Structure 1
Amino acid sequence: MSKQRYFFLILILGTLSALGPFSIDMYLPGFPAIAQDLHTTPAKVALSLSSFFVGVSAGQLLYGPLLDRFGRKKPLYVGLLLYVAASVGCYLCHSIDALVALRFLQAVGSCAATVAAVAMVRDLFPVQDAPKVFSLLTLVISVSPMLAPTIGSYMISAYGWQSVFLVLFLMAALMLLASIFWLPESYQPDPTYSLHPKPILTTFWSVLREPQFFTYALTGAMTFGGLLAYVSGSPLVFMDIFGVSEKTYGWIFALLSVGFIGSSQVNSWVLRYYRSEQIVLAAMACQSVIGLVFLVGTWQGWFGVVGTVVILFLFLCCLGYANPNASALSIAPFSKNAGSAAALMGATQMGVGALASFGVSVFNTRTAVPMVAIMAATALLALLIQLIGRRIVGQPVAASEEAGVLVH
């Protein structure tokens, strides 16, 4: 494979991987504008984010078997077409209930791009190149939280919140064309692959029975729930409570993303000196303390904008250490069912994240307490799972250093 071809394939797969994160982050600065235009509240608008997380959770389990049964490209086409149609619907909708439903469909469509990109890395690149390619895809995904809300804030300020969904429509349409004309079919359809529920559920059950999997998958899911509680609640906290503009919120979100992204990259250096399970436990202990301080301080009114940004930065730094190590440890015991374990882990993370996001949105109140309380609760639950689960697991199967640097 030529260097030009190599780079071009990574570029296409990277943009496919980034579709989901862009769909989440780009419209966040528009929460107040959407609420005003659709005659509802920012908390109700956050339900459209929760429905997206539910769609992503379901879609990850859906597309794995379809990609093995029908090849990589046909399910990818169907998913992108669904995403394109849902984006048009979001652009045209005039009610919050319609937006919530369409965001669910948009999420199911985006999953095809994410899951297909991961599968095609395994198909198209040599085994020895896979860690490097996955690192490049991870970098693209990690950069999106810095770019998407900032771009979205300027788009919303200039052209209104509907313009975000027009941009997402154009992105997906271009990805569809690129996939049709420049992305090779990397896996031949397997007519013998069963899509019946029983064998699929049997495989998932064998994964769930592994103590190391459920200990670290639940730990990672709880930390991810804290992240998505922040993502759902931050538009209300910064724009509605503190009164910052859409553009300022976009820059704050980008700055806070540096904490999560930076610590996840430093994690590869820390792994030279400490084991993954040690890093997870230390990170969860620190995050629990930070979460409790954040909750008490918010309840007592100690923190303004600067104080809130600082403590959120510290909270997200802990997550950047915990999440990649927990993800790597949860799939480390599996050689045969690694794909099913990864899909189940991702679905668990998004499922817990959807519950956390929904928990933030149901409290229609002008205070940051619901967001902060859920963030603190997820950190404490993750720490409790670690303390109990470590006794059951004993000496865990080690996660590779390469796996440990990847943010799921």
Structure 2
Amino acid sequence: MRRTLDHIKPTGSNLSCRNWPAMKANNPQPASTMTPRRTALLGALLTALGPVSMAIYTPAMPELVDAFSTTEGAIKMSLSLYFAGFAVAQLLAGPASDAFGRKASTVGFLLIYLAGSVLAAMAPSIDLILAGRLIQGIGASVGITVARAVVRDQFVGKEAASIMNLIAIMLTVAPALGPTLGGLSLAAFGWKSVFLLMLGFGIIAIGSVSLFLRETTVPDRTRLRPARLFKGYAEVLSNPRFTLASLVIGGSIGALYAQSTMLPFVLIGEVGLSPTEFGLGMLVQTGSYLAGSIALRKVSHRISGHRAVVIGLCFSAMGGIIMALSVALLPPSFLSIMIPVGICTFGIAFVSPHIITVGMAPFPHIAGSASAMMGFIQMSCGFLGGLAAAMIGAPLPAFGTVIPFMEFMAVGSYLAYLALDRRT
């Protein structure tokens, strides 16, 4: 019988590590671990940091063009720099959490995030906005990396997938709620308030980590030695299952990040929405993901993780096709843009929990590095999608080309995974 993703377990057990009679010698764990609820809530909070800091800023992008007498390209660059800082810094944030512990490394990176938020809020020029966004991206990179590593430290199998489901909800809902908060804040208090909101969110994150996060790994500073660092990443990337699983996430969730560089200019510039209307309109994306998550929870006991991924990717592919056709054949409107976005987002809810869990499963001894590399691939796909859109130039054709391509990339990556699965 063909093995599916559901049969890949890091230890051959579906029990949480708190119930294991003994841990592997190369992956010792501290005695005090967290409950699934605490792990999920803290993981969701940390995961939301990066997407919120990206999305809450998008309604202000057209206004910043006028505020600093600059170009759309310069403002888009501020988002690209955030992507770049976020993606690259994960490669350090993950090993740092293995070396110094999850808690200490998280607090350290969050302090960097706060510094970037203050710099951007007080910036008198576009150059300092760019610098602040880059620093913010570096600091925010720790959130998703540590969240996934903490889950992998403690749980496997369906228990891990359930926690990852909540984390994945925040990973997708946050970019949709962000524009709503940003649009309302922009209308009431101006563009600086958007960065002050990020500052407040960072303070809440540091407080929560300091009070509630327990250490879930045994720190080993030798993991930051260059030779061991490169060896760990080489081990992760040499696993084709991990790489293909990461590309599935990069194509699906990465598409959400890429489209955030286009949607403000499509819906505000082409369709004619105000920044506040744009923010509220993005609730379509939130509702779609929540609907997908609820549907997945209702059927998860009747279908395998493999079947859930197939269902989700079918929705993503269908949304991509409708998106490409609507841009090519219809005049832009709120519904012609957001209906296919909603279909794709509904599908992502089915894809991400299981794919993330099985992608991380083979690496209990370097969970931080594996999480970092998965996040790097995911964010890099979003960054490259945004870069491709900038090269195309016009936001509407870019939207109708780049996002469908990324959705199809996710489908193709999973088909390649299945082909590999059949040969082993």
TM-score (norm 2): 0.80
1:120, distance to aligned residue in structure 2 (A): 5.4
1:186 aligns with 2:249: no
> Secondary structure of the equivalent of 2:223?
coil
> Secondary structure of the equivalent of 2:272?
coil
Q: Which amino acid aligns with 1:169?
A: L
1:34 aligns with 2:64: yes
Q: Distance in 2 between matches of 1:350 and 1:200?
A: 20
The 1:151–1:380 alpha-carbon spacing in structure 2 relative to 1, beyond 3 Å, is closer
Q: Which amino acid aligns with 2:181?
A: I
1:159 aligns with 2:189: yes
1:384 — aligned with what?
A: 412
1:129, distance to aligned residue in structure 2 (A): 8.1
Q: Which amino acid aligns with 1:168?
A: M
The 1:305–1:177 alpha-carbon spacing in structure 2 relative to 1, beyond 3 Å, is closer
1:359, distance to aligned residue in structure 2 (A): 1.9
8 Å CA contact 1:44, 1:362 repeated in 2: no
The 1:287–1:55 alpha-carbon spacing in structure 2 relative to 1, beyond 3 Å, is same
1:349, distance to aligned residue in structure 2 (A): 0.6
Q: Which amino acid aligns with 1:99?
A: I
Q: Distance in 1 between matches of 2:155 and 2:94?
A: 19
1:400 — aligned with what?
A: none
Q: Which amino acid aligns with 1:379?
A: E
8 Å CA contact 1:145, 1:254 repeated in 2: no
Q: Which amino acid aligns with 2:132?
A: L
Q: Distance in 2 between matches of 1:386 and 1:8?
A: 32
Aligned residues, how many? Answer: 390
Q: Distance in 2 between matches of 1:128 and 1:384?
A: 25
2:421 — aligned with what?
A: 393
1:353 — aligned with what?
A: 382
Paired residues for 1:234-383 under 5 Å: 234-365=263-394, 367-383=395-411
The 1:41–1:260 alpha-carbon spacing in structure 2 relative to 1, beyond 3 Å, is farther
1:304, distance to aligned residue in structure 2 (A): 2.1
The 1:174–1:297 alpha-carbon spacing in structure 2 relative to 1, beyond 3 Å, is closer
Partner deviation per Cα, 1:351-370 (whole Å, 9 max, x = no partner): 111111222234443x4110
Q: Distance in 2 between matches of 1:196 and 1:105?
A: 24
8 Å CA contact 2:267, 2:273 repeated in 1: yes
1:275, distance to aligned residue in structure 2 (A): 3.2
The 1:374–1:6 alpha-carbon spacing in structure 2 relative to 1, beyond 3 Å, is closer
Q: Distance in 1 between matches of 2:291 and 2:239?
A: 31
8 Å CA contact 1:53, 1:350 repeated in 2: yes
8 Å CA contact 2:85, 2:138 repeated in 1: yes
Q: Distance in 1 between matches of 2:86 and 2:156?
A: 29
8 Å CA contact 2:389, 2:402 repeated in 1: yes
8 Å CA contact 1:260, 1:319 repeated in 2: yes
Q: Distance in 2 between matches of 1:381 and 1:176?
A: 36
1:193, distance to aligned residue in structure 2 (A): 2.7
1:47 aligns with 2:81: no
Residues 307-316 or 69-78, more deviating = 69-78
8 Å CA contact 1:47, 1:358 repeated in 2: no
Partner deviation per Cα, 1:365-387 (whole Å, 9 max, x = no partner): 3x411012001111222333333
8 Å CA contact 1:242, 1:305 repeated in 2: yes
Partner deviation per Cα, 1:154-213 (whole Å, 9 max, x = no partner): 110111111110121233234435555x34663687455331122222222222222322
Q: Distance in 1 between matches of 2:311 and 2:169?
A: 25
1:46, distance to aligned residue in structure 2 (A): 2.4
1:137, distance to aligned residue in structure 2 (A): 5.0
The 1:268–1:335 alpha-carbon spacing in structure 2 relative to 1, beyond 3 Å, is farther
1:105 aligns with 2:125: no
> Secondary structure of the equivalent of 1:232?
coil
Q: Distance in 1 between matches of 2:327 and 2:77?
A: 23
1:272, distance to aligned residue in structure 2 (A): 3.4
The 1:113–1:357 alpha-carbon spacing in structure 2 relative to 1, beyond 3 Å, is same
> Secondary structure of the equivalent of 1:200?
helix
TM-score (norm 1): 0.82
2:200 — aligned with what?
A: 170
Q: Distance in 1 between matches of 2:77 and 2:185?
A: 22
1:142, distance to aligned residue in structure 2 (A): 5.0
The 1:121–1:363 alpha-carbon spacing in structure 2 relative to 1, beyond 3 Å, is same
The 1:240–1:183 alpha-carbon spacing in structure 2 relative to 1, beyond 3 Å, is same
1:60 maps to which of 90, 95, 101? 90
1:33, distance to aligned residue in structure 2 (A): 0.6
2:119 — aligned with what?
A: 89
> Secondary structure of the equivalent of 1:186?
coil
2:16 — aligned with what?
A: none
1:406 — aligned with what?
A: none
Q: Which amino acid aligns with 1:107?
A: G
**Identical residues among aligned pairs (%):** 25
Q: Which amino acid aligns with 2:182?
A: G
Q: Distance in 1 between matches of 2:180 and 2:91?
A: 31
Q: Distance in 1 between matches of 2:170 and 2:317?
A: 29
The 1:300–1:246 alpha-carbon spacing in structure 2 relative to 1, beyond 3 Å, is same
Q: Distance in 1 between matches of 2:334 and 2:349?
A: 22
1:281, distance to aligned residue in structure 2 (A): 3.8
Q: Distance in 2 between matches of 1:344 and 1:156?
A: 35
> Secondary structure of the equivalent of 2:222?
coil
1:229 aligns with 2:229: no
The 1:222–1:145 alpha-carbon spacing in structure 2 relative to 1, beyond 3 Å, is closer
8 Å CA contact 1:70, 1:188 repeated in 2: no
> Secondary structure of the equivalent of 2:260?
helix
